[in-house]
Amino acid sequence: MSNSSKLIVVAGAAGKLGRLVVESLLTHSGVRVRALVRDPKKPEAAALAARGAELVAVDVATATDAARAEAVRGAFAVVSTLQGGPDVIIDGQLALLRAAKAAGARRFIPSDYSYNVFTLPAGINPNSDWRRTLAERARAEVTPSFEVVHVLQGIFTDAYVLGFLGAFDRERRVVRYWGDGTTPIDWTTWEDTARYTAAAAVDERPVPAQLFVSGDRMDILTFAKSWEAARGETLTVERLGSLADLEAEIQRRLAAEPHNMFAWLPLMYNRGMFGGQALLGPSENGRYPEIVPETVAQAAARGAV
């Protein structure tokens, strides 16, 4: 299939990463994009249509098999940026993956976009566990002509994400961490994640099952220094405790509010990030030399973080 006839289907296209993936795909000459959205009347969806994407209204998790089959008909690749619980991440994506395979697609890219879920022990983070479960079930669907590619880029170099994790309060100019602060962390912007995902989606070559890409690698203390240098401002750095203290705090919050995931989920990401168990494998940035990812300093200079 030539590049001029490639159709890439993007599920969850109205979300932040989904929109960026669609926009990145549309920069590839001759590539057509079909954007799967739940509500095509949303402004975010309408903006994609204005850019040239074909909109299809479908809820991947609840759709019929026939609707999913129609949604991916003719696709060269199917990219998922869906978010949700195990009904979406495992069941919905597996159904979409199987529809993509049946439609003759070359590859399926599930919604991972995280640190390395494959080296993270079970039980560290339920979101990572769900993605690893999907990967295990998807492995049975892989053939010489059908790939499942997991794009893994580390932590988003983004003030909102780091605020959710409790690692960076940009408004108060505070960086917080657990452990000794010297554990390497992989950092990548949303935009670069989208660019690499789009490049992998249209790639004619076989793509590694685990595609490790990143913009930078540094520990949290170096992050703080890089941000200060880029912004010309001073940060306060706070150590919250040891990794053992972090574990104790997770268990305390789980016991106190077991049904409130926002009370403890950020700390579970912290445990993978500061524990060093989720560092990316060998970089595949070199596969796509046309992409020059932003460093932490560059992202900070433009105000992304």
For the chain, the structural domain boundaries read 3-156+187-216+278-291, 159-183+218-275
pLDDT value of residue 1: 43
What's the pLDDT tens digit per position in 266-286? 999 999 999 999 999 999 999
What are the tokens at 43? 């402004």
CB 102 within 8 A of CB 112: no
Residues 6+ apart with CB under 8 A from 250: 264, 267, 268, 271
pLDDT in tens, 190-232: 999 999 999 999 999 999 999 999 999 999 999 999 999 999 9
pTM for this entry = 0.96
Nearest one of 180, 120, 124 to 150, comparing CA atoms: 120
C-alpha distances out from residue 289 to 151, 250, 267, Å: 17, 41, 35
> Residue 2's pLDDT is what?
43
How far is it, in rounded angstroms, from Cα 37 to Cα 18?
10
pLDDT of residue 3: 44
- The pLDDT value recorded for residue 5 is 80
Domain 3-156+187-216+278-291 has CATH 1.20.990.10: no
Q: How far is CA 159 from CA 169, 187, 217, in A?
A: 8, 12, 17
Flag residues of the chain having pLDDT under 50. Answer: 1-3
